[in-house]
Amino acid sequence: MRFFFAAQMAWQGVVINPLRSGLTVLGVAIGVASVVSLMGIGEGARLAVVKQFESLGSNVIVIKAHDAKAEFMPEEAEELLERVSGLKYASPVVRTNAVMRWRRARGQVEIIGVSSDFPELRDHRLVSGRFFTKWHVEQRSPVAVLGYNIGAGLLGGRSPVGQTLTLNGQTYRIVGVLEKKGPGQAEGIDDKVVIPYTTALKIAGKKTVDELWVKAESAKAADLAIAQLGRIYRRKLGFDATAPKPGDGEQQQMPGKEGAEKPVETLPAPQPEDQSKEEKPALELGKDIITITNLNTLVEEADKANRVMTLLLGGIAAVSLLVGGLGIMNIMLVAVTERTAEIGVRRALGAKKFDLLLQFLMEAFYLSGMGAATGTALGIWGVNLFNRYGFNAVISAEAVRVAVFVALGCGLIFGVYPAWTAASVPPVEALRR
């Protein structure tokens, strides 16, 4: 009965001044809504970045030449499978453009030339048809696999497998359509045409490629492969004479830590005095020549960076929760001053300090609880509003829990002093006022 009576008295103290209580609730609600919505935006951005990296495939290593004189022969991809332990798939990559003609329509399209290992290497399935085979690559067959958007647009959603199109005037047979990845995912593969790299080299008019993709068996194997690949290409550029040669029978493994610490290994240009004109190409100084990138590590680093950003946004928004808590304390102190006579009467009738303390604490709890509920609803509405206008935002259950917990905690903490003040008023002094 004591608890029920204290709760009833606390509720009456809230509703007897609706404007004052409403403004206090609004202050807490704004703080909670800010935390929920801003952390939702931060979490949505984090998930979008992580998804974008993951769409490139797991355990993938990208080897890229930034100097035309350091570009790779296509055969190097297969050689790496033999020289580096833990690699499962490899592919040279050719990027170029071509004029595509489909019936009476024509336009510029991006071409990507790869090996037959592309679906396994990039974890990319097909929705229609099949991928071209190793035989197609060796024979330079004019076959093409379309990105989802291009494939879906040719026949109004029907499968175009078996149809033909032309690229730079040459006829290609469509053998498959890739699964949809979504806008901005997998380097925009949905709007590209995938063909054998041997055919793409003819379109590009080149004999070398500036990019190689390899896929490791596991994340640990990818870390080890980074170290081995670094040694191989340091030797190629003349930096490391101890690196394994193509004819070596043993595969040398490096400690996992070395690969893990360097997600992107950069091989700078050698100094002029170290170059041999007969054995090494004259490379441009002052820029990176070859970079070896472990996409797994990039995903982890992007995830950490965006988590920090989300926490910073939440911390900034939490300041408004603190202001809301101070508002509760201010209102409760005013209530104690206004209700001094009531406190005196209750004390004279036998109410104990604990009863008054409980009453005012519950009043603060009511205010913070209503603010938390209102703020959560406003925060969820805000997240949905951001999504409607193209922002990546998600409703984070963790953000809701933290915001509600902090709001209720602030209400109770900032309500302690006013409640203790009310309970400590001497009955005689209270009645005199």
Kindly state the tokens that stand for 377. Answer: 């609803």
Q: From 213, 414, 247, 240, select the one nearest 324 (Cα to Cα).
A: 414
Residue 244 reports pLDDT greater than 60:
no
The whole-number average pLDDT for the span 289-293 is 90
Range list of β-strands (E), 197-322: 211-216, 264-268, 288-294
User: What are the two backbone dihedrals, phi and then psi, of residue 395, each rounded to the nearest 5 degrees?
Assistant: -85, 110
Query: Which whole-number Å values give the CA distances from 37 to 18, 45, 322, 327, 381, in the listed order?
Result: 27, 12, 17, 22, 8
Q: Could you read off the pLDDT of 336-348 as tens digits, one per residue?
A: 777 777 777 776 6
What pLDDT score does 127 carry?
A: 94
Q: What is the mean pLDDT of residues 401-430?
A: 79
pLDDT digits (tens, 9 = 90+) for 247-270: 554 443 333 334 444 556 666 555
Range of 113-117, 320-324, 382-386 with top mean pLDDT = 113-117
What confidence category does residue 91 fall into, taking pLDDT thresholds of 50, 70 and 90?
very high
Per-residue pLDDT tens over the stretch 174-213? 999 999 988 878 888 999 999 999 999 999 999 999 999 9
pLDDT over 50 (residue 3): yes
Three-class SS state of 61: strand
pLDDT at 432: 64
Q: Given pLDDT bands bounded at 50, 70 and 90, which one contains residue 242? A: low
E-strand ranges in 139-202 read: 143-146, 164-167, 170-178, 192-196
Q: Show me where the domains of the chain are located.
A: 2-52+302-432, 60-295
Q: Are 222 and 262 in contact (CB under 8 A)?
A: no
Average pLDDT for 404-430: 78
Lowest mean pLDDT among 38-42, 114-118, 126-130, 259-263: 259-263
Higher pLDDT, 231 or 52: 231
Least confident window among 266-280, 346-360, 387-401: 266-280
Top mean-pLDDT range of 43-52, 62-71, 232-241? 62-71
Q: Given this model, what pLDDT does residue 84 score?
A: 92
Q: What is the pLDDT of residue 429?
A: 66
Kindly report which listed range (87-101, 229-243, 352-366) carries the lowest average pLDDT score: 229-243
- 166-180, 280-294, 310-324, 349-363: the lowest-pLDDT one: 280-294
Whether this model's pTM surpasses 0.95:
no
pLDDT of residue 279: 42
- The pair of structure tokens assigned to 47 is 């998930």
Nearest to 94 by CA among 112, 76, 77: 112
Beta strands at 105-114 and 126-129: parallel, antiparallel or unpaired:
unpaired
Q: Where are the alpha helices (DSSP H) in 237-285?
A: 256-261
CB of 432 closer than 8 Å to CB of 353: no
Cβ-based neighbours of 399, under 8 Å, separated by 6 or more: 35, 36, 39, 40, 43, 314, 379
Question: What's the chain's average pLDDT?
Answer: 82
The burial class, CB within 10 Å (0-12 / 13-18 / 19+), for 185 is middle
**pLDDT mean over 206-234:** 92
Asked if 411 contacts 328 with a C-beta cutoff of 8 angstroms, the reply is yes
pLDDT for position 241: 52
Phi, psi of 53 (to 5 degrees): -70, -40
Report how far Cα 289 is from the mean position of its chain's Cα atoms: 29
Cα–Cα distance for residue pair 122/184, rounded to 1 Å:
15
Total Cβ atoms within 10 A of residue 107: 8
Return the pLDDT at 330.
82
